Structure 1
Amino acid sequence: MGIATEASKTGTRTATWMGIAVVIMGLIAIAMPLATGVAITITLGLVLIITAIAQIVFAFQSDSFGSGVLRFVFGLLAGICGTTLISQPGAGLATITLFLAVWFFIDGVFAIVHGIRWRPAPGAGWMIVNGGVGIILGVMIYNQFPSSAAWLVGLMVGIRLLLAGWTMIVLGAVTRSAAKAIDKEISSVTET
């Protein structure tokens, strides 16, 4: 076995197994979108509470009164938001869902505007199509609200995990193939 194959063997094996684990997590998230969405909401709440604590600690260590007050206010706001997300994950999930609906819509409008500006450059048509899909998704999510809050965030995270895991598996296979090709090339050069 060659140098490149030995060096990549451990990395590709790890990438493949991690990819499989991420695919499984993605499938679980897709199968249980509400539980996934609630878990994400609570996790976001915890992150905000940790941020709040850090901001408040830094507020008391600030050099100036204005900077300290501003950090304290931001810390207090983050703490309130984090506590609300943890204590009322359903409402937090609904807020995140509405945010995503608005984001898809606005992102779609900007993609269409940029696609029209870039015409006749290659890819401009795809940008316009992408924008149209974004607008349609935003409107669909909003029209199905509040029921879309129960499935949207968890489903999107699940799909993202599924794609990320599959990418890790494919990259592991590609790296393994490239290492074998390099070893083959090195061995043919050293034989001559």
Structure 2
Amino acid sequence: MTTPDFANLQSRATEAIREHWVAFLVEGVLLTVLGFAAMIVPPLASIATTIWLGWIFLISGVVGLVLTFWARGMPGFWWSLISGVLAVAAGVILLAAPVQGTYALTIVLGAYFLAEGVASILYALEHRRELTGRWSWMLVAGLMDILIAAIIIIGLPGSALWAIGLLVGINLAFGGATLIGMALAAHSGSL
């Protein structure tokens, strides 16, 4: 059962999507095209992602430092200062040496998939009684994460050329396809 406020909010959101379905469609097509481009040329997408992250770190670090000095009387000044300096340093390093930054980010990506895989497997084994037959899906997902981690880590340094770009491309393509589906459903009235 939904509350009246939630039902009203949901109704307004649906109406806004119906009104702007063309914008969602255009964004979806653009994201899908960019996603396929990233999958076709993953080295370029990997470098572009590294540079984008470099700018995000640099800008967030500078803003963090400015705010830290602006509110220097607040507790945690030194921790905030260290955080801002580290963000600026990470941004400068990624922007100054994007190829090496892509290599480092690929190592982090491989470690993430490995940790996620182990956690998923342990979660599946822990819940196999409660989830009955569905726990095996979680186990398979964990094993796939470990397989992806192995492909990335064993393939280094060559996997640094394609791993980040390919995964970003897949994400963009699926996100774009979702927006296209939502836009078409809104246009046809089935949303």
Structure-2-length-normalised TM-score: 0.84
Q: Distance in 2 between matches of 1:46 and 1:146?
A: 24
Q: Distance in 1 between matches of 2:16 and 2:84?
A: 46
Q: Could you list the runs of 5+ residues in structure 1 that have no partner in the other structure? A: 1-5, 183-192
**Percent of aligned positions with the same letter in both sequences?**
27
Aligned to 1:158: 169
- The structure with more radius of gyration: 1
Q: Distance in 2 between matches of 1:32 and 1:83?
A: 25
Aligned to 2:128: 119
Aligned to 1:3: none
Correspondence for 1:140 among 139, 146, 151: 151
Displacement after TM superposition at 1:131 (Å)? 0.3
1:176 aligns with 2:191: no
Q: Distance in 1 between matches of 2:17 and 2:64?
A: 43
Displacement after TM superposition at 1:173 (Å)? 2.1
Correspondence for 1:102 among 100, 108, 111: 111
Displacement after TM superposition at 1:36 (Å)? 1.0
Against the structure 1 CA distance between its residues 46 and 116, is the aligned structure 2 distance closer, same or farther, given a 3 Å change threshold? same
How many residue pairs match? The answer is 175
Matched ranges for 1:10-159 at <5 A: 10-64=19-73, 67-120=76-129, 121=131, 122-159=133-170
Q: Which amino acid aligns with 2:177?
A: W
CA RMSD of aligned residues (A): 2.0
Q: Distance in 2 between matches of 1:60 and 1:23?
A: 42
Instruction: Compare 65-74 and 77-86 and name the one that shifted more.
Output: 65-74
Conserved? CA contact 1:59–1:67, under 8 Å: no
Q: Distance in 2 between matches of 1:8 and 1:31?
A: 31
Structure 1 residues 11-52: Cα deviation after superposition (integer angstroms, max 9, x where no partner): 222222221111111111111111111111111111111112
Against the structure 1 CA distance between its residues 64 and 139, is the aligned structure 2 distance closer, same or farther, given a 3 Å change threshold? same
Displacement after TM superposition at 1:7 (Å)? 7.2
